[in-house]
């Protein structure tokens, strides 16, 4: 199965953690349609960790029950999900959306629920029977086998299930994941540790992947974690929150670097600003660009970066990212990406965020960028007169 664009959707973890149930998931699916997110391209509704019956141990830590049924199958928590996962999948599918779930390559998930090690083929079959379209597969309690073997095993189990299921590997970048993950058949791979709802968190994640973008390709996307836009310091990974421009900066980075866009906030109660950010058409267009070219680093000056990104329609996106604490003139000399100084090529630039500024530039363009902020311009190249 070929996944040609970074998947877009919503995941329960960032806001809800363990606090999930079927009403929440149904209301989220409803909100995805009613808010316009579905029309903007978001389609996956993903339940993360903590959805199943837990195993039990005695006071010495000896396992009494696995949480699995008599056939070895995972069981949805009957209190959180009384109608069961098949009914929930049907509900989501009826809305024209897709259904995602979560497991892990160890015997337990990160939150201590039963996971798929040694049950891969049984679990893949269960997911297929429930109508799952997307599986996030974590890396906690990993046994003494190379990750590439464990991820390959689950990938083959999903294929054997008879259902097309997007396989979303999540090993946080361990074992140089970018160097082998494509060979396992996975469709995306988490390359970083967990995000939290703060500027420092998304900044460090983004910068850590600048030199790994050449591994991000259609078929197997570099997943730099779920979005925190719109969390405002509330929820499972809340750490103070971000300002509104910082949330837009975060979204712009995820779009420019063509990460999957998995919303992490409560989409039933989004502010206008959150909606505007998550549905920014020009940024989503860059995120979904079919060529998925890694950005060309033009200049790095301190904590300011400029990048040129080729787009499928023959145009370019020029991105200026200011991670410093001051307003900066972020430099970009066109010579640095190959234009001749003497032939004086010119670029028409227009600001994709404000959509109002058209400029003709020869030689370069230094964008003025607020601290913790960005500018992205769409460019056409033509010979200067």
Q: Is 211 helix (H, G, I), strand (E, B) or coil?
A: helix
Q: Which is nearer to ligand GLA, 110 or 367 (CB)?
A: 110
Which of 134, 183, 133, 128 has its CA nearest to residue 160?
A: 128
Q: How far apart are CA 294 and CA 309, in angstroms?
A: 7
Q: Which stretch binds ligand GLA (CB under 6 A): 20-28, 109-117, 338-346, 366-374?
A: 109-117
Q: 11 vs 35, which CB is nearer to ligand GLA?
A: 11
d(CA 37, CA 144): 41
- Side-chain half-sphere exposure of 80, counting CA atoms within 13 A: 19
Burial of 25 per CB tally in 10 Å (0-12, 13-18, 19+): buried
Beta bridge partners of 45: 10, 99
Contact pick of 22, 43, 48, 223 for ligand GLA (by CB under 6 A): 48
Residue 378's DSSP bridge partners are 317, 350
Closer to ligand GLA by CB, 109 or 209: give it: 109
For residue 355, indicate whether it is catalytic.
no
138 lies in the site for ligand GLA, by CB under 6 A: yes
Token pair for 134: 């997307």
x/- binding map, residues 306-335, to ligand GLA, per CB under 6 A? ------------------------------
Site for ligand GLA in 219-278 (CB under 6 A): none
Q: At what angle do helices 147-160 and 120-130 cross, to 10 degrees?
A: 40
Among 89, 110, 124, 165, binds ligand GLA (CB under 6 A): 110
Could you tell me the smallest distance in angstroms from the CB atom of residue 301 to ligand GLA?
33
Set 138, 223, 225, 289: catalytic member: 138
> Any contact of residue 170 with ligand GLA (CB under 6 A)?
yes
Q: Using CA atoms, how far apart are residues 223 and 173, in angstroms rounded to an integer?
A: 10
Cβ burial, residue 232 (10 Å; 0-12/13-18/19+): buried
Token couple for 20: 């999930």
Q: Identify which range of 106-114, 240-248, 340-348, 363-371 contacts ligand GLA by CB under 6 A.
A: 106-114
The two three-digit tokens of residue 383, written as one number? 């010979």
Between residues 110 and 177, which has the closer beta carbon with respect to ligand GLA? Answer: 110
Q: Which of 43, 49, 105, 266 binds ligand GLA (CB under 6 A)?
A: 49
Which is closer to ligand GLA, CB of 43 or CB of 49? 49
Active site residue 194: yes
The piece of 28-36, 56-64, 104-112, 238-246 that touches ligand GLA (CB under 6 A) is: 104-112
CA angle 251-254-255, nearest 5°?
Answer: 85
Token pair of 338 as six digits: 């190959």
Total of chain residues touching ligand GLA, rule CB under 6 A: 10
Nearest residue relative to ligand GLA (C-beta): 110
- Cβ proximity to ligand GLA: between 101 and 111 the closer is 111
Binding residues for ligand GLA, rule: CB under 6 A, are 13, 48-49, 109-111, 138, 170, 172, 194
Q: Which residues are catalytic?
A: 138, 194
């Amino acid at each position: 199965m070929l996944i040609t664009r970074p998947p877009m959707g919503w995941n329960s973890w960032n806001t809800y953690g363990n606090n999930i149930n079927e009403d929440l998931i149904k209301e989220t699916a409803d909100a995805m349609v009613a808010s316009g997110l579905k029309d903007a391209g978001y389609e996956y509704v993903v339940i993360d960790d903590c959805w199943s019956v837990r195993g039990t141990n005695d006071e010495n830590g000896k396992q009494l029950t696995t949480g699995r049924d008599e056939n070895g199958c995972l069981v949805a928590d009957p209190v959180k999900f009384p109608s069961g996962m098949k009914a929930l999948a049907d509900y989501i599918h009826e809305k024209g959306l897709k259904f995602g779930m979560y497991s892990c390559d160890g015997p337990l998930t990160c939150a201590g629920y039963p996971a798929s090690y040694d049950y891969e083929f049984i679990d893949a079959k269960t997911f297929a029977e429930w109508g799952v379209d997307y599986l996030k597969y974590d890396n906690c309690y990993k046994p003494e086998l190379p990750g590439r073997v464990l991820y390959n095993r689950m990938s083959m189990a999903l294929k054997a299930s008879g259902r097309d299921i997007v396989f979303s590997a999540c090993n946080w970048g361990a074992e140089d994941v970018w160097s082998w993950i494509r060979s396992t058949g996975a469709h995306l791979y988490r390359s970083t540790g967990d995000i939290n709802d703060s500027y420092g968190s998304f900044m460090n994640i983004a910068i850590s992947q600048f030199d790994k973008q050449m591994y991000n390709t259609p078929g197997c996307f570099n997943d730099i974690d779920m979005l925190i836009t719109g969390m405002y310091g509330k929820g499972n990974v809340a750490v103070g929150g971000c300002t509104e421009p910082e949330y837009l900066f975060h979204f712009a980075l995820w779009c420019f670097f063509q990460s999957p866009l998995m919303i992490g906030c409560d989409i039933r109660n989004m502010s206008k600003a959150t909606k505007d950010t998550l549905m920014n058409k020009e940024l989503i267009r860059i995120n979904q660009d079919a060529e998925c070219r890694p950005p060309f680093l033009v200049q790095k000056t301190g904590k300011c970066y400029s990048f040129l990104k080729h787009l499928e329609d023959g145009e370019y996106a020029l991105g200026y990212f200011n991670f410093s604490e001051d307003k900066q003139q972020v430099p970009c000399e066109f010579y640095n990406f190959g234009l001749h100084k003497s032939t004086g090529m010119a670029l028409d630039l227009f600001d994709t965020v404000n959509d109002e500024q058209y400029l003709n530039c020869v030689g370069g363009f230094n964008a003025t960028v607020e601290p913790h902020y960005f500018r992205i311009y769409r460019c056409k190249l033509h010979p200067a007169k």
